Chain A
Amino acid sequence: MTDGAAAAGPAAPTAPAAGPRPGSADERNGEALVEVRDLKTYYPIKAGILRRTVGQVRAVDGVDFEVRRGEVFGLVGESGCGKTTLGRTIVRLEKATSGQVLLDGGDVLSFDGRDLKKMRRRMQVIFQDPVGSLNPRMPISDIIGEGLLAQADKQNGWGERKVRDKRVSDYLEVVGLRRDYTRRYPHEFSGGQRQRIGIARALALSPEFIFADEPVSALDVSIQSQILNLLIDLREQFDLTFLFVAHNLSVVQYISDRVGVMYLGKLVEMADVAELYAHPRHPYTIALLSAIPDPDPRVKSRRLVLTGDVPSPANPPSGCRFHTRCWLRRQLNNPENCETEDPPFRELASGHRVACHWAESVVDAAVADVVPTADIEVPTELPTPQDVGAPVVTEIETPSVTDVVEPAEEAAGTAGEARPEEPQGPTQGRV
C-alpha cells in the first residue's frame, strides 16, 4: 500500500510545496496527498545536574502510511501511544528525529523559509481543547485573522483589515456561527461554538490537509454529533483531506474511510474502516474493540480484559511491543518470536496491514465472540490457519477464561468522551 503510493506520488522532491493545485481535487482523489515514511520522533530524557541525556522516549517509532487525497484517515490508540505526536510531527509542530513526510511529493521536513510558509497554509490543525487553543485576550476576528495576516500577500490582499474581516465573517458563517460574532471573545462561547471557531480558523487559509487532533473529545454527546456533521459537510464542500486522531473508536468508525491503530509509537494495524471493524486481526485491535461499552443493553458478549498498563515508551518491550499484554500470545502458549522479533507491518489482505506474527491464527468467529459491535458474519466453515512458516498454530476458539470476565449484560459504542471536568455549580455554561 505504501509502496504503491510511494511510486505514484512524487515527481521531484523539490516540487512546489504550495501554489495553485494542479488539476481539480476530484480527479486526483485517491492519490496519496501525504506520505509518511519510517517517521520517528524521539524526546530526550535528561537527568542529573549536567542534564545529560540518559534515554529517549520513542513517541513515534517508525511509522509508514499515507493519507490519500479526499479521504479521512482515522488514527486510534490509547493515550501515550504517539498518535498526537505523529500528527504534530507531520504538520511540523514537532521536530522529527528521522524519516520523511511528503506532501504531494515535497519533503515537508526539509522545508524552510518560503516553502515552509506555503506548506503551513496547505496543512492546518484543529486542536482538541476548545478552551486552551483560543487566546482568551483576542477577539474572534484576530484569532481567525492571525493566520490570514501571516499568509498575506499582494494576491490575496489579506494584509488589509477589511478584506481579512470579511473573510473571517465568511468562515464563521461556513461553520454555522453568525457573521457578526467577530468582535466577541472566546469566553462568550460554549464549548461547541469554540470548536467551530477553531475549525473556522483552520479553514480560513483554504488548506488541503487538516490534522484534526481529537476535535470532539472535549464535547458532550449532543454537541459532538453537531461537530461531526459539520466536519463531514466541510469535507465535501472544500475537498478536504483529514488525518483524524481520536481515542473514541465509535467516532473514528463513523467518520473515517481508512483507519490505523497505534500502540506504543507504532502502527499495529491499518485497513479500510469496514474491514478493520469487521475483521480485525491484531490482538490489540480486537481487545480495543472488545473494550468499548455498548449502549445497547441487549448485546451480551464476553469481554477481553487486557491486564496491566501500557508499558513506558521510554523502555518498550522487546520484540513485539504488545507481547506483555497479549492474550493471543498466551493462547498460543507463548511463541518465542513474539518476544524476540519485532513483527513487520505486513500486508495480510489487499490494503489490510498488520504487525503481528500470528495474525493468521485469528478467526472471525473468535472475534465475534468478544467484539459485540463487529456484526461479523460467522463463516460456516472456519478458515484453516494458513501456514506462516511457523510452528503449529492453534486456532483460537474463545479467549480463555482467565482473559475474559463474563459480565451479566453487555454491549459497544461509547456514548461520549472524556471531558476535562464536570462544571459544578456557579460557573457553569455561561454563554
Chain B
Amino acid sequence: MTATEAARERRTGVGDVLLDVRDLRTHFEVMDGTVKAVDGVSFSLRQGGRLALVGESGCGKSVTALSIMRLIEVPPGKFAGGEILFEGRNLLKLNDREIRKVRGGEIAMIFQEPMTSLNPVMTVGDQISEAVLLHQPVNRKGAQEVALQSLVDVGVPDPKRRLKQYPFELSGGMRQRIMIAMALSCNPKLIIADEPTTALDVTIQRQILELIKNVQERTGTALLLITHDLGVVAETVDEVAVMYAGRVVETGTVEEVLLSPRHPYTRGLLESIPSQGKKGQRLSAIKGVVPNPFRMPKGCKFEPRCPYAWQAGADEEPPLFDLGPDRMSRCWLYDPRYADHLAEYEGRAPKKSAEVAS
C-alpha cells in the first residue's frame, strides 16, 4: 500500500476530523500598521493523522501553530477572523480557564529551540511532573512516576538520573527528547511540533524524526508538523499544506504535493533544492523576496515572484480551487477560464527563467 493510499484510508476510514482550521486570520497591530501574519489559513487534520505546514520564514506557519495553542499575546495580536475547531469546539471562543485545560493536556507542543523552551532552573523531572500535576489526577509522587515512564518511552538512557538533571547538563538531542517526553506525558490528542529538528545536527535529527514517528504510531496521537524542510515533510507526514505570505497555497497528500505540485510556489521550492541531479547547472531560484507585510501585492501574493504569472485577475486574489479530495491550490491556473495556461504550466518549464534578482 502506498503512502497515498494509506493517507486516503486515513482520511476516509477511521478518524473523524480532530482539528479544523477555517479561514484563520491572526493579525498584529504594530506601530507601522497591521501585519497580517496569518490571513486565510484553512486545513483539517483527522484523529491520528499526520499533517505538515510547510513554508519559508515569515509565511505564518508558526503563528498558525501559536494561534491554535492560543499563545498569541492579545494585543498586539488579534484574531481577526475564522475559527479553530478542535473536536467541534472553537478554541478561539474558550475562556482562559478552558483553554488552559486544552493547552498541554489535549494539545501539546514541541518547540524548535529545546534550550530556551525548557526552564533552566528546574530539574527535568520537576518540569515534566508540573504538567502532569496540572492535567492528571495524581499526587506529586505519581507525577514523578509518570515523568519517569515518559522518559523511558522516548528512549532516554538512564532515565532515573535524568529526572534529577537540569537542561544545561543535556545535549541538544537529549533536550528535544525531554520536550517530546513532556508533550507525551499527558496523552494529548494532538501534538504540534514546531520545527522540532531544525536546531539539531543531521544524525541527531534522524534520531528525533524516527522517535516522533514511532511515538505517533504507537500512541495514535495526531501530529501537526511545522517545518521548512521538504525532506522532513516527505519522511514524516501523510499530508501537506504549503503556506506563503500568510496563506495556504496548496494542500494534498505528500506524494501529490511533492511529486506533482499544483502551485508555482511549491514547484519553485522543489526546484531550488540543490541535489545531485542539478550539479553543474544553475539552480532555478525563485526570484525576488517574500513581500513586505505592509505592502502586500493586491492580487495573488506570489504573483511578483511567479515565473508563470500572466495578468489574470490582477487585483483579485485567487481562491483555493478544489482539485479533488483535500487537494487544493490557490492559483488562477485552476480557473477553467485559463485552461490554456494550465496546459502550459503542466507541459513546460517556466516561461521566464527565474533568475537572480536582488
State the A residues within 8 Å of B (CB): 78-79, 176-178, 190, 192-193, 196, 220-226, 228-230, 232, 247, 249-251, 253-255, 273, 277, 287-288, 290-298, 303, 305-307, 309-310, 373, 375, 405, 407-416, 418-419, 421-431
Number of A-B contacts (CB under 8 A): 219
| B56 in complex: contacting residue of A220, A254, A309, CB < 8 Å | A220
* B206 with A291: CB separation less than 8 A: yes
* B231 with A415: CB separation less than 8 A: yes
* A410 with B203: CB separation less than 8 A: no
* B276 with A373: CB separation less than 8 A: yes
* B274 with A297: CB separation less than 8 A: no
Question: Restricting to B178-205, which residues have a CB under 8 Å from any CB of A?
Answer: 194-195, 198-199, 201-205
Complex CA distance for A220 and B285, rounded to whole angstroms: 11
* A430 with B358: CB separation less than 8 A: no
CB of B290 within 8 A of chain A?
Answer: yes
Residues of B within 8 A of A251 (CB): 274
CB of B113 within 8 A of chain A?
Answer: yes
CB of B92 within 8 A of chain A?
Answer: no
Residues of A within 8 A of B128 (CB): none
Complex CA distance for A290 and B232, rounded to whole angstroms: 13
Residues of B within 8 A of A416 (CB): 56, 228-230
* B279 with A254: CB separation less than 8 A: yes
Task: For A425, give the chain B residue with the smallest CB separation.
Answer: B28
Residues of B within 8 A of A310 (CB): 201
* B279 with A295: CB separation less than 8 A: no
Q: A373-B276, A375-B276, A409-B234 are in contact. Are A295 and B206 (CB under 8 A)?
A: no
* A428 with B210: CB separation less than 8 A: no
CB of B66 within 8 A of chain A?
Answer: yes
Complex CA distance for A98 and B113, rounded to whole angstroms: 36
Residues of B within 8 A of A253 (CB): 274-276, 279
Interface of A, secondary structure class, is loop
CB of B289 within 8 A of chain A?
Answer: yes
| A422 in complex: contacting residue of B57, B203, B293, B357, CB < 8 Å | B57
Complex CA distance for A431 and B259, rounded to whole angstroms: 33
Q: A78-B201, A220-B57, A288-B203 are in contact. Are A190 and B289 (CB under 8 A)?
A: yes
A-B contact pairs, 20 of them (CB 8 A): A196-B358, A222-B269, A229-B285, A250-B273, A250-B276, A254-B279, A290-B206, A293-B205, A293-B232, A295-B233, A297-B255, A306-B206, A306-B207, A375-B276, A410-B235, A416-B56, A419-B198, A422-B57, A425-B37, A428-B37
Quote the shortest CB–CB distance from B162 to chain A (angstroms): 14
* A229 with B174: CB separation less than 8 A: no
Known pairs A221-B272, A418-B199 / 11 extra A-B pairs, C-beta < 8 Å: A78-B201, A221-B228, A254-B274, A291-B206, A297-B254, A298-B255, A413-B274, A424-B37, A428-B35, A429-B292, A430-B292
* B57 with A297: CB separation less than 8 A: no
Task: For A178, give the chain B residue with the smallest CB separation.
Answer: B358
Task: For A300, give the chain B residue with the smallest CB separation.
Answer: B3
Interface string of B51-67 (1 = CB under 8 A from A): 00000111001110010
CB of B356 within 8 A of chain A?
Answer: yes
Question: Restricting to B192-250, which residues have a CB under 8 Å from any CB of A?
Answer: 194-195, 198-199, 201-207, 209-210, 213-214, 228-235
| B63 in complex: contacting residue of A277, A375, A424, CB < 8 Å | A424
CB of B121 within 8 A of chain A?
Answer: no
CB of B115 within 8 A of chain A?
Answer: no
CB of B30 within 8 A of chain A?
Answer: yes
CB of B48 within 8 A of chain A?
Answer: no
Q: A78-B203, A193-B358 are in contact. Are A430 and B274 (CB under 8 A)?
A: no
Q: A297-B254, A426-B76 are in contact. Are A409 and B274 (CB under 8 A)?
A: no
* A429 with B235: CB separation less than 8 A: no
Residues of B within 8 A of A407 (CB): 210, 213, 235
How many residues on chain B are close to A (CB under 8 Å)?
Answer: 73
* B357 with A176: CB separation less than 8 A: yes
CB of B85 within 8 A of chain A?
Answer: no
* A415 with B269: CB separation less than 8 A: yes
Question: Restricting to B249-289, which residues have a CB under 8 Å from any CB of A?
Answer: 254-255, 258-259, 268-270, 272-276, 278-279, 282-287, 289
Q: A297-B259, A309-B204, A423-B58 are in contact. Are A228 and B283 (CB under 8 A)?
A: yes
Residues of A within 8 A of B202 (CB): 78, 247, 249, 288, 291-292, 414
Quote the shortest CB–CB distance from B198 to chain A (angstroms): 5
Task: For A196, give the chain B residue with the smallest CB separation.
Answer: B358
Complex CA distance for A287 and B357, rounded to whole angstroms: 37
Q: A224-B272, A421-B113 are in contact. Are A229 and B356 (CB under 8 A)?
A: yes
Q: A226-B356, A425-B37, A425-B76 are in contact. Are A292 and B289 (CB under 8 A)?
A: no
Complex CA distance for A293 and B66, rounded to whole angstroms: 26
| B28 in complex: contacting residue of A232, A306, A426, CB < 8 Å | A426
CB of B173 within 8 A of chain A?
Answer: yes
Quote the shortest CB–CB distance from A297 to chain B (angstroms): 4
Residues of B within 8 A of A408 (CB): 3, 6, 213
Task: For B204, give the chain A residue with the smallest CB separation.
Answer: A309
| B173 in complex: contacting residue of A228, A288, A309, CB < 8 Å | A309
CB of B77 within 8 A of chain A?
Answer: yes
* A79 with B195: CB separation less than 8 A: no
Q: A254-B283, A288-B202, A309-B204 are in contact. Are A423 and B57 (CB under 8 A)?
A: yes
Residues of B within 8 A of A430 (CB): 32, 292-294
Residue of A220, A250, A411 ringed by the most chain B CB atoms within 10 A: A220
Residues of B within 8 A of A249 (CB): 202
Complex CA distance for A247 and B289, rounded to whole angstroms: 24
Residues of A within 8 A of B233 (CB): 295, 415
* B234 with A293: CB separation less than 8 A: yes
CB of B171 within 8 A of chain A?
Answer: yes
Residues of A within 8 A of B358 (CB): 176-178, 193, 196
A-B complex: 4 closest residue pairs judged by Cβ atoms: A293-B231, A254-B274, A415-B230, A225-B272
* B203 with A297: CB separation less than 8 A: no
Residues of B within 8 A of A411 (CB): 231, 234-235
Q: A220-B56, A405-B210, A416-B229 are in contact. Are A295 and B37 (CB under 8 A)?
A: no
